[in-house]
Structure formats: structure tokens, C-alpha cells
Structure 1
């Protein structure tokens, strides 16, 4: 039976070779009208071989398992691989892979494939555990230093942000300190305008519009006026021009604002000049 099988296989292989030679000859010497059909046959043969090679290349794992099965059963590996190759070639010539001859569908092969995959999973798990152990060891050595550097970096960022904000507020306060006297003179001039005639009313309206624009600019810059009456006297916010009895406000409270003060954020640009109540007479 083995001799007959090999003889049949050799006959089939010889037919394939002769067919290939015939295609090459016909491609070279066939009439022009036949050549498209010849080329179609050659392309079909080449496409079938490419698909077959692709299928074989996707079975590398199965091939390794077959070799392992052969070694466990005591058979020669080269002999088993050769038998497998002959079986596949015979199936190709018949046009299909028979399930009866396909070793990869056997229960023994599938069980062995499961064992191989389990071993590969165990190997991967072992490598993952080793990597995690190295990571934990390296973190134990360098982790505290990394955390310290992160903390120092955050502190530097906070200090830099605070310094930048403080510098901006200081520069803004210095500029406003030069502008406030001009605003004071503007307010004094506005207070002396008597809007009796149409021309005076027009001037007063223009002054009021300009003063409103200045107030909006101050609001955008974060300027807050210190002009509240009746609050306790605060040396940081107020400058006492004098103390005098006041029938309304209690002692040590602001009775009158002589000149408004201003502050920008937490910076006192100019304290308010006030009269402090010394109590009721």
C-alpha cells in the first residue's frame, strides 16, 4: 500500500510538472488568440499556489506541535515531516484537505496544542512577574527621590507664580501711585463746576463722562477705594489727620474722609486721610 501511495503521488507530481511545462511552451509558441486563455490558466495555477503557501505559513505553531508529537511517539522527525509534506501535497492535488488525513483535527493534537499554549501563557506570566518585581525594586530605590523632586518642582512653581503676581501688583501700584494725584485734582475741579448755564452743564457732563471712564479703568485694574465712614480706625488703611469729638460716630472710628485711599489686591497704594472721632463731646 505504501508503494502504491508513493507511486500515485509521483504520478500526480509528474502531471503537475508536465502541465507547468506545457503552459510555458504554449505561452511562448501558442497563436495570439490563445494567449489570453493560457495566461489565465497560468495565473490561476500561481494564485492557487500562493493561497496554499499562505495557509501553510499560518500553521507554524501546529507544525511545531506535530514535531513534538512525533518525538514523543519515538518516530524520526524528518520521516514524520516528510510524511506530512507528502500528505499535504496529495491533498492539494485532489483539491481539498481531507479531514481524515488532517492530523491537526485529531484530539491528541488539540490536547497537545492546549498544553503548548498553556506553557506559553505561563512563560508570559513569569516574564510579567519578573518585570513587576524589577519595577518594584527600582521604585524602592529611586521612588522617594522622584517624589521629592516632584514636590520641589511643585513648590518652585508656586513660588514662581506668587513672585510673578506680587511683581505685577507692585508695578501696577507704582504706576497708579503717580496717577492718583491727577485724579484728585480732576475731582476737585469737578466739584467746583456750577452747572447753571447750558455751557456749564455741557462741561459738567463731559467731566462726568471722563470720570466714569477712569472709574471703569480702575475697576479693570483691580483698584478698590478706601472711603468708608463709620468703620474702626485701621493704621494700615487710614492716616489720621486729626481727632475731634463727633456726636454720631463712636470713639476711634472714622468720622470724615478728607482724601480717599486706594488699594490693589493686597497692596495699599495710598491710605485714606481721615478725621477720627474722639467720642461724643
Structure 2
């Protein structure tokens, strides 16, 4: 089979010799070679396009997979957070009971004091478990009223706190991370009003360990 270079040399000699037959044959062969070249170029172009399309599909597939992985992780964390929140919420009445007992029980005898110490030790362990789960008490007295974490069940004048500040807590509120588990029930100041001879400052109970954030 003639190479393109050989055909060109034969073509030149045919032109110099005036060999019309050879010139026609060579031109025909050159045309065939040119057509094959164009076909190969077209196939190469198509193949390159397919490669680029494959790369784009791979990139899209990779992006879809990354998005799926992120969604799955987010859903997993949400499910876990919801489950934790439900469990902790079910335990909050126990916290309330511990706090009420702490305020109401006044041990007098040595035996009662020993029982109270044991009781408070159990409560301390319970609080440590809650803290390990990132549970914290919602700040209340002295803080601005925040409807996202506070539930106002009363308003009253206060010489100590300006309007809009929480002055009393009726029930503790709790959060886990940035999520509210239960709002705190509070009373909110309406401002000083008329000054009275004596003012009894209302304080809230404290959940040991959960107030330190």
C-alpha cells in the first residue's frame, strides 16, 4: 500500500511527465486517503466528546453521591437527636421531683442527713449524665425574656429588674445543644412601678451542674 508521501512523489512525476492517467489515479487515491482522514478525525471528535460526557457524568454522579452522603448523615444525626430529646424529655419530671424534694426536705437527725446525702449523691450522678449528653438549663432570672426558650405565665412590677427581664422561675427549662427540649415557665418584669417600702426579691431554684454552661 502506498504511503501519502509516496503518492505525492508519484503525483509530482506524473505531472512532470504529463501522465494524465497516473495523475487521475493518484488524485483518486489521495481523495480516498483524505476521506479516511476526515472519517478518523470525526471518530476522534466523537470519541473525545464521549470521554468528556463520561467525565461530566462521573462528576455529576460523584456530586450526587456526596449530597446523598451528607443528607444521610444529617438525617442520622436528626434521628439520633430526636431520640435523645424524647428520652431526656421523659426524664425531666424526675429532675423536677428531685428539685422539689431538695427545697422541701429539711433533714434533722443524723439518719435523715445520711439519707439526704445519699439521695443528693444519686441526683448528682443523674445530673452528670445529663451534662454528658449536652443538656443544660435555660437561663432565667435576670435574663431578658426570650420567647424561643421562655414561656411567660405571669408579669409583675419589680424594683430590681427593668421591664422585659425574667424575675421568677416556676419550672426549669432545658436545652440539648442548640435544641430546646422544654421551655422555662417564668414571670416577667413590667418595670419598677411605684416603689414600695420593702421589696422581696424572688429567686429561682437551681439545678446543680446544669446551670454552668
Q: Sort the TM-score into its range (normalised by shorter chain).
A: 0.5 to 0.7
Aligned to 1:229: 141
Residue 135 (structure 1) shift: 9.5
Bigger-Rg structure (1/2): 1
State the match for 1:25 in structure 2.
none
Give the TM-score of the pair, scaled to structure 1. Answer: 0.50
Instruction: Give the CA deviation at 1:266.
Output: 2.9
Residue 190 of structure 1 contacts residue 207 of structure 1 at CA under 8 Å; is this kept in 2?
Answer: no
The reply on whether 1:171 has 2:95 as its aligned counterpart is no
Structure 1: any 5+ residue segments left out of the alignment?
1-132
Matched, 1:185 2:86: no
Query: Unmatched 5+ residue regions in structure 2?
Result: 1-44, 194-213
Asked whether the 8 Å contact 2:159–2:191 carries over to 1, the reply is yes
Aligned pairs for 1:74-93 within 5 A: none
Query: What residue is the counterpart of 1:219 in the other structure?
Result: 131
Say which of 91, 104, 111 aligns to 1:199: 111
2:68 equivalent to 1:156: yes
* Contact 1:193/1:200 (8 A) holds in 2: no
| Residue of structure 1 in register with 2:58 after alignment | 146
Q: Which has the higher contact order (CA 8 A, sep 6+)?
A: 2
Question: In the alignment, does 2:180 pair up with 1:268?
Answer: yes
| One of 242, 247, 261 as aligned partner of 2:159 | 247
TM-score, structure 2 normalization: 0.65
Deviation track 1:107-164 (CA, whole Å, cap 9, x = no partner) reads xxxxxxxxxxxxxxxxxxxxxxxxxx99966542211111111111111111111111
- How far residue 269 of structure 1 moved from its aligned partner, in angstroms, is 1.0
Distance in 1 separating the partners of 2:97 and 2:139: 17
Question: Which digits, 9 at most, give the CA deviation of each residue in 1:239-267, with x for residues without a partner?
Answer: 10101011121111111111110112232
* 8 A contact 2:140–2:184 mirrored in 1: no
